[in-house]
């Protein structure tokens, strides 16, 4: 294929998708189901984009590049997993529940009863949540009322929570951790509309929409081979290790150039890559406004510190951490169970929107994580660390300044479409946003 130039048959509805993350894969399976001829190009040797796993060479355990949780309200993600035969590898809670540990030794549980409607389930849950005082709870009614309003695009989470009268204790125990985890941004920078969207999906949609789910296997094992097989069985082609350098739409087709010298002429193209990567592929003059917007996206890092102890140090599958730098700890031994390899004392500690940690060395991050784990789980002080691995996803997600309009699926050119969790899905950058964007891009192609 290297160095070749070819034109697809004019009567063939051929679509080339650039990017093999959730957005690109979702677009591919939707178009394959509709009978289109699909080629998916991925620059790396594996699918998944910013969501993948690998084998730790020391322990042999499966390690995710970052911990991902799903919610029961992620309807398009669940549809995607159902189609490729992976739905049964995601386990959901019987009801929304998060355990918290505080650096001062406190242990708290927040659960929302599934038999009560909104807002009674929220009020009931917070009344039993020991990290807050009963006087912090009445202002929650203002938040619930605001879920039905259209918020200003420039409103930050910080300003919105202040407007809704949320008290500092409630902020520290719930709202700030939720914002940082769900949006991968600090409240002073994050869009209130995105937090509002998460709350709407979780509590105003289907019953029990807030229930959390997790994969019983590594992320790559969950979907990579299954999605590839699904596409291939329906006549599509998945090409890994094929980096695209430029996209040049013309009146009758789209011309794609690759690093290996290929020139691909295709009927339509879906670009499902991160915004800064896309900015390097398109002509800044032809797509002046879009190119300018793409260049304004700012990456936000997530750190994962993987620790292997010589014994179990916690029973819970996951815990939120309060009063610490690291924000969550996930018990991979419990999450994976017997479905993927995980040593008994394998934990992952996570910090999101973690610009403040970029200056720290891996050894410093490991030391910090161990010290904070000792604070919240004193039993861990007697355990020995056998192995540690730090993963920093420098651009785990990206976001625009609030003054910019988020790009939509359709570009100024009728044959070029966008997909990705950074596009206008109405959600923050999540797996659900990525899948929705892929489906939306495919649907836009189907309308042509």
**What pLDDT shows up at residue 1?**
40
Is residue 107's pLDDT more than 90? yes
Mean pLDDT value across residues 406-415: 96
DSSP string, 68-90: --EETT-HHHHHHHHHHT-GGGE
**Bond before 119 cis per omega within 30 degrees:** yes
278-281 long-range Cβ contacts below 8 angstroms, 24+ apart: 278/418, 280/245, 281/18, 281/244, 281/245, 281/246, 281/247
Is residue 3's pLDDT more than 50? no
Host H or E run for residue 187: none
Mean pLDDT value across residues 46-59: 95
- For residue 168, give every residue at least 6 positions away whose Cβ sits within 8 Å of its Cβ, in sequence order, or none: none
Query: Which architecture does CATH list for 5-43+241-297+400-446?
Result: 3-Layer(bba) Sandwich (3.50)
Mean pLDDT value across residues 271-284: 98
Band the pLDDT of 342: cuts 50, 70, 90. low
- For residue 188, give every residue at least 6 positions away whose Cβ sits within 8 Å of its Cβ, in sequence order, or none: 156, 157, 158
**What pLDDT shows up at residue 86?**
97
Q: The dihedral of CA 81, 78, 52, 320: what is its sign? A: negative
Is residue 9's pLDDT more than 80? no
- For residue 177, give every residue at least 6 positions away whose Cβ sits within 8 Å of its Cβ, in sequence order, or none: 320, 322, 327
pLDDT digits (tens, 9 = 90+) for 130-167: 999 999 999 999 999 999 999 999 999 999 999 999 99
**What pLDDT shows up at residue 206?**
80
168-173 long-range Cβ contacts below 8 angstroms, 24+ apart: 169/131, 169/132, 169/133, 169/136, 170/132, 170/136, 170/137, 170/139, 170/140, 172/322, 173/100, 173/108, 173/129, 173/131, 173/132, 173/322
Would you give the end-to-end CA distance of the chain in angstroms? 29
**What pLDDT shows up at residue 138?**
94
Is residue 359's pLDDT more than 80? yes
Band the pLDDT of 205: cuts 50, 70, 90. confident
Residue 319 β-bridge partners: 329
Of the ranges 4-13, 228-237, 314-323, 358-367, which one carries the lowest mean pLDDT score? Answer: 4-13
Of the ranges 19-33, 201-215, 270-284, 301-315, which one carries the lowest mean pLDDT score? Answer: 201-215
CATH topology of domain 53-91+213-217+299-399: Polyamine Oxidase; Chain A, domain 2 (3.90.660)
**What pLDDT shows up at residue 255?**
96
- 269: closest CA among 93, 445, 69? 445
CATH 1.10.3110 correct for 118-206: yes
Q: The dihedral of CA 33, 34, 39, 41: what is its sign? A: negative
For the chain, the structural domain boundaries read 5-43+241-297+400-446, 53-91+213-217+299-399, 118-206
Q: Locate tokens 């991979």: which residue? A: 332
């Amino acid at each position: 294929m290297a160095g070749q130039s070819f034109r697809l048959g004019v009567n063939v509805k051929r679509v080339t998708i650039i990017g093999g993350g959730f957005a690109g894969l979702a677009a591919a399976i939707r178009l394959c189901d509709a009978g289109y001829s699909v080629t998916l190009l991925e620059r790396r040797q594996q699918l998944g984009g910013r969501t993948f796993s690998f084998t730790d060479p020391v322990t042999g355990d499966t390690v995710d590049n970052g911990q991902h949780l799903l919610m029961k309200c992620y309807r398009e993600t669940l549809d995607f997993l159902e189609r490729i035969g992976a739905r049964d590898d995601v386990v959901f809670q019987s009801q929304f529940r998060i355990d918290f540990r505080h650096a001062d030794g406190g242990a708290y549980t927040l659960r929302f009863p599934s038999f009560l409607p909104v807002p009674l389930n929220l009020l009931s849950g917070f009344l039993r949540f020991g990290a807050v005082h009963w006087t912090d709870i009445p202002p929650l009614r203002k938040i619930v009322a605001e879920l039905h309003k259209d918020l200003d695009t420039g409103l930050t989470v910080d300003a919105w929570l202040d407007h809704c009268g949320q008290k500092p204790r409630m902020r520290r125990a719930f709202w700030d951790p939720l914002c940082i985890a769900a949006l991968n941004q600090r409240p002073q920078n994050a869009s209130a509309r995105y937090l509002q969207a998460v709350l709407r999906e979780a509590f105003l949609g289907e019953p029990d929409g807030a229930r959390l789910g997790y994969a019983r296997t590594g992320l790559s094992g969950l979907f990579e081979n299954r999605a590839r097989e699904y596409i291939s069985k329906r006549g599509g082609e998945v090409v890994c290790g094929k980096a695209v350098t430029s996209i040049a739409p013309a009146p009758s087709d789209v011309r794609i150039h690759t690093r290996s010298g290929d020139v691909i002429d295709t009927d339509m193209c879906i670009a499902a890559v991160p915004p800064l990567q896309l900015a390097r592929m398109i002509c800044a003059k032809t797509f002046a406004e879009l190119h300018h917007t793409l260049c304004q996206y700012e990456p936000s890092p997530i750190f994962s510190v993987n620790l292997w102890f010589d014994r179990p140090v916690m029973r819970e599958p996951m815990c939120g951490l309060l009063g610490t730098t690291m924000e969550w700890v996930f018990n991979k031994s419990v999450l994976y169970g017997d479905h993927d390899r995980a040593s008994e004392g394998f934990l992952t500690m996570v910090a999101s929107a973690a610009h403040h940690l970029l200056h720290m060395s891996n050894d410093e991050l490991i030391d910090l994580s161990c010290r904070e784990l000792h604070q919240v789980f004193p039993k861990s002080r007697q355990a020995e660390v056998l192995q540690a691995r730090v993963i920093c996803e420098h651009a785990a997600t990206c976001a625009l300044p609030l003054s910019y309009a988020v790009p939509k699926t359709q570009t100024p050119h009728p044959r070029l479409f966008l997909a990705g969790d950074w596009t206008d899905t109405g959600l923050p950058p999540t797996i659900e946003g990525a899948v929705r964007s892929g489906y939306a891009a495919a649907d836009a192609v189907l309308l042509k």
